[in-house]
């Protein structure tokens, strides 16, 4: 606590500042954690997608991870940080705190299922794009049902997934970004579902982190 430094004269103000700084620092820490998780997942999942079309990794495989576009992982990280902070915030605003399966094991299960969905979309051969889309959509909805079950989560997920797909398509149209596989339709079919699942997952992580922080804060308040 930075009480001693800030307010010898006005103790109430001092505690206020302390709480504020404390809260903002924890927010930053939370955001950073979410960011790194997002970057990590983006790298790994990108690798999965790369593996789909390449049998043998060229010797400089590590560089090939970053070769597609250097700014993709940071973008994913930023997006996941925003989403992860947004979810608890919205829960707070709506006044319906999320009660469903608030455990780390459940969150881990969620992440694993998300990676599994990516894996399936990357490794499993589907007969056609409709099948792929339907399967992925069913999996994503199942993910939401299993780990989230909140209306706000669903709505936010759908909105963000649509926005992200739209922006990706815009980027591709403008030639800024290219998929590893030129099959345009194919890409479009799996993208929204993956985005949706990712939003749900990151929201889950963000909520869990926020819960942890809440507990810390309440404990501290208790001590004070």
| Binding flag, residue 123, other proteins (CB under 8 A) | yes
Three-state secondary-structure class, residue 224: coil
Q: How far is the CB of 116 from other proteins (least distance, A)?
A: 4
CA distance 148 to 200: 7
Which range of residues in 69-77, 114-122, 153-161, 162-170 is near other proteins by CB under 8 A? 114-122
Q: How far is the CB of 170 from other proteins (least distance, A)?
A: 26
Cα atoms in the Cβ-side hemisphere of radius 13 Å centred on 204: 29
User: Residue 126 gets which letter from DSSP?
Assistant: P
Q: How far is the CB of 115 from other proteins (least distance, A)?
A: 6
Which range of residues in 1-9, 70-78, 109-117, 161-169 is near other proteins by CB under 8 A? 109-117
| Binding flag, residue 115, other proteins (CB under 8 A) | yes
Q: Give the contacts of 118 (CB within 8 A, at least 6 positions apart).
A: 45, 48, 49, 194
84, 209 contact by CB (below 8 A): yes
Nearer to other proteins, 18 or 39 (CB): 39
CA-closest candidate to residue 139, choices 214, 187, 192, 63: 192
User: Which parts of 52-81 interact with other proteins (CB under 8 A)?
Assistant: 52-59, 61-62
Q: Looking at the chain, how many residues does it have?
A: 224
Q: List the one residue from 102, 141, 172, 213 that touches other proteins (CB under 8 A).
A: 102
Q: How far apart are the first and last CA of the chain?
A: 11
Q: Give the contacts of 157 (CB within 8 A, at least 6 positions apart).
A: 144, 196, 199, 200, 203
**The two structure tokens encoding residue 144:** 């939401």
Which range of residues in 5-13, 14-22, 131-139, 160-168 is near other proteins by CB under 8 A? 131-139
Q: How far is the CB of 86 from other proteins (least distance, A)?
A: 22
| Binding flag, residue 116, other proteins (CB under 8 A) | yes
Footprint of other proteins (CB under 8 A): 40, 44-45, 47-48, 51-59, 61-62, 102-105, 107-109, 111-113, 115-116, 119-120, 123-128, 131, 134-135, 138, 142, 181, 211, 215
């Amino acid at each position: 606590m930075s009480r001693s430094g800030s307010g010898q004269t006005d103790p109430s103000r001092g505690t206020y500042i302390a709480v504020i700084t404390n809260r903002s620092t924890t927010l930053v820490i939370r955001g950073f954690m979410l960011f790194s998780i997002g970057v990590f997942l983006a790298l790994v999942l990108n690798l999965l997608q790369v593996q789909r079309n390449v049998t043998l990794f060229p010797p400089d495989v590590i560089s090939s991870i970053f070769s597609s576009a250097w700014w993709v992982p940071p973008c994913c990280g930023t997006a996941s940080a925003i989403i992860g902070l947004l979810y608890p915030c919205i829960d707070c605003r709506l006044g319906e705190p999320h009660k469903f399966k608030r455990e780390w094991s459940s969150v881990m299960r969620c992440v694993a299922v998300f990676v599994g969905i990516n894996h399936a979309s990357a490794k499993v051969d589907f007969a056609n794009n409709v099948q792929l889309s339907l399967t992925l959509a069913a999996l994503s909805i199942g993910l939401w049902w299993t780990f989230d079950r909140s209306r706000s989560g669903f709505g936010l997920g759908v909105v963000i997934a649509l926005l992200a797909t739209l922006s990706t398509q815009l980027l591709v149209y403008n030639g800024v970004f290219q998929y590893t596989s030129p099959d345009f339709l194919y890409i479009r079919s799996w993208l929204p579902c993956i985005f949706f699942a990712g939003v749900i997952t990151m929201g889950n992580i963000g909520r869990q982190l926020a819960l942890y922080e809440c507990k810390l804060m309440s404990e501290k308040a208790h001590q004070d």
